[in-house]
Amino acid sequence: MPKLFGRQYSRDELLQKVGRVDQLGGVRQITLADGKARATRAVEFCTGTGLRFTALADRALDICSAAYCGASLCWEAPCGVVHPAYFEPEGLGWLRSFFGGLLVTCGMTWLGAPHEDPAGGVEAHSGLGLHGRITHIPAENLYVDGAWEGDEYTMWAQGKMRETMIFGPNLLLERKVWTRLGENRIWIDDEVTNEGSREQEHMLMYHCNIGFPVADEHSEYLFASEQAIPVTELADECAEQWDKFAAPNPHQEELCYYHRLRGNPDGTTYVAFVNRKFNAAQGLGLYFKFNLEQMPWLLQWKMPGAQAYVTGIEPATGQGGDRPGERESGRMITIGPQQSRNYNLEIGVLTNQTEIGEIEDIISNL
């Protein structure tokens, strides 16, 4: 049953008190109207608890904004939402339309820094730009709705994104973003299918970007990390402080670490990022639940810069490096013709010290 306003309600109790469910929470389609966001289809969710978030149907149903009781849960980049028509795939052009947000999907056939891949076929003939194409692919067969299932009211947006080219890959991502009335959680369920006739290399990463006020001086990372691998020399020099976040620094360079995490016997694991000092020590944070059999690596992106004051929590199929390196290391995943892979991500809001303590115990016991 939904928990709203401090107590649980049955379906019948709620429907006797409101004219329609939208009075409490729900999901609706909108279209953005200004600047580079113009004509972008979006889906707004409200769970009734204070959690609101927006998924962009024209950007792979990635989540561009999220807030809890007015406090932003994610970092929003200066460019804001950008329609996929403005995508610049070459080199670092991806950054011109990187809106930040709670979720940006990277992949599906490559990700990481711009690089060359001589063995990459027609797809790589002019080089591979930053983080792939999937986040700039609009959803087809968009289905947005909400429905009662017993005493639970579920709301969702789902669609299909195809990454393909003649003589190249033909991957289909079927995504469902959903939540429930009375919940402080978001679920993303993905299925990637190779609809081509040949085996296809595949890389995927969930680029989750947390900003102020969750990210603030003294915010903490809660990871069950068995190994933290620094990506750069500077990250290596700062490795002892990988689990701490700092005040904004205009001269800050990004720090990145690859993590090997402990998990449960079924492969599930949790990570969290928390600000215990938020709102006079009320506390605020986010946790992420995923499966290490699906995504065995976590990339941690620390960027406590001025304006670019953000941290990335990024579950991934590999280390997120260049495609030749992933191939040579044996980390590259391949999907056979007409075969599929599933991915599941749960994002939860930690609204007080008790909830932060509970997730900290779960992570410490992994």
Give the pLDDT confidence of 188-237 residue by residue, as tens digits.
Answer: 999 999 999 999 999 999 999 999 999 999 999 999 999 999 999 999 99
| pLDDT recorded at residue 201 | 96
Residue 150 lies in a domain: yes
Residue 77 lies in a domain: yes
For 98-134, the pLDDT digits (tens) are 999 999 999 999 999 999 999 888 998 889 999 999 9
Two tokens, residue 322: 């260049």
| pLDDT recorded at residue 185 | 98
Residue 10 lies in a domain: no
Residue 9 lies in a domain: no
Helical segments of the chain, H only? 11-17, 233-237, 278-281, 323-329, 353-364
Peptide bond connecting 108 to the previous residue in cis, omega within 30 degrees of 0: yes
Residue whose C-alpha is closest to residue 285's, from 271, 297, 296, 299: 271
Residue 14 lies in a domain: no
Residue 7 lies in a domain: no
| pLDDT recorded at residue 286 | 98
Residue 160 lies in a domain: yes
- In the predicted model, what is the mean pLDDT of residues 322-341? 95
| pLDDT recorded at residue 126 | 85
Is residue 137 pLDDT above 90, yes or no? Answer: yes
- In the predicted model, what is the mean pLDDT of residues 345-366? 98
| pLDDT recorded at residue 194 | 98
Is residue 305 pLDDT above 90, yes or no? Answer: yes
C-alpha 7/C-alpha 72 separation (Å) is 25
Give ∠ CA 301-305-310 in degrees, rounded to 5. 45
Half-sphere exposure of 12 toward its Cβ, with a 13 Å CA cutoff? 0
Is residue 331 pLDDT above 90, yes or no? Answer: yes
- In the predicted model, what is the mean pLDDT of residues 142-151? 97
Confidence label for 160 from pLDDT (cuts 50, 70 and 90): very high
For 6-46, the pLDDT digits (tens) are 999 999 999 999 999 999 999 999 999 999 999 999 999 99
C-alpha 61/C-alpha 51 separation (Å) is 18
- In the predicted model, what is the mean pLDDT of residues 307-329? 94
Query: How many domains would you assign to the chain?
Result: 1
Provide CB contacts within 8 A for 155, sequence distance 6+.
25, 26, 27, 45, 145, 146, 178, 179, 180, 181
One-letter amino acid at 235 equals A
Two tokens, residue 35: 């600047």
Residues 323, 128: contact at Cβ < 8 Å?
Answer: yes
Residue whose C-alpha is closest to residue 110's, from 297, 326, 313, 260: 326
Which DSSP string do the residues of 56-76 spell out, in sequence order? EGGGTTEEEEEEETTEE-S-B
Q: What percent of the chain has pLDDT over 90?
A: 97
**CATH number of the structural domain spanning residue 293:** 2.70.98.10
Is residue 74 pLDDT above 90, yes or no? Answer: yes
Two tokens, residue 336: 């056979």
Torsions phi, psi for 217 (to 5 deg): -55, 130
Residue 134 lies in a domain: yes
| pLDDT recorded at residue 225 | 97
- In the predicted model, what is the mean pLDDT of residues 264-276? 98
Per the structure, the complete domain to which residue 299 belongs is given by: 22-364
Give the mean pLDDT of the chain. 97
Is residue 306 pLDDT above 90, yes or no? Answer: yes
Two tokens, residue 321: 């490096």
Confidence label for 320 from pLDDT (cuts 50, 70 and 90): confident
- In the predicted model, what is the mean pLDDT of residues 153-177? 97
Q: What percent of the chain has pLDDT over 70?
A: 100
Is residue 321 pLDDT above 90, yes or no? Answer: no
